[in-house]
Amino acid sequence: MKNYIILIVFVMLVKCAFSQSISTSLFLVVDKKTDSIKVSNKDSINFKYSHFNKKKNWLISMSHIYVSGADQNNYRYLLPKEMISELERKGNLEDIQPFMIKLNHFNFKELAQFFSKHYSYYYEYLYRSRKKTYKRYNIFIIFKSDLDKTFVPCYEMSLLKSRITHI
């Protein structure tokens, strides 16, 4: 009986953790050929996507950086191919261009509130025996060319929102 209760609690915790990470996440599909994503292949996995709204005076920059041994790397998940259609059905999977067009009606404050409300969380970690906290976002990039793989790589993105400055 004790093992049965432990199993039920474990399943509930796993189900809850999995549903929270998926239900509050945004997966953006990017085509390396047509979308303006910059890829750098050095000792780390780096790529960046930027979107400008000159009329409303803001820009978004999303980047994925992984450097071996670093403390604040972005994550890379491998989702089973079957999860992709489920993400799309639930509204968590979108092509990047139409999604960015939806953001264009926001002013800078509304843009910041939108991402904070829907996709942000605080990440805590230890660094040299001190507790550190910083804001992360449940935003992932999926490359269109990877959609047919058995396990689809999803790259966590850091988000930077800023004003466009004129010099």
Average pLDDT, the chain: 82
Classify strands 76-80 and 58-66 as parallel, antiparallel or unpaired.
unpaired
Q: pLDDT for 94-105, tens place per residue?
A: 999 999 999 999
20 — pLDDT class (breaks 50, 70, 90)? very low
Q: pLDDT for 109-126, tens place per residue?
A: 999 999 988 888 887 878
69: left (phi over 0), alpha (psi -120 to 50) or beta: left
Residue 147 has pLDDT above 60, yes or no: yes
**pTM confidence score:** 0.76
* Predicted pLDDT at 164: 85
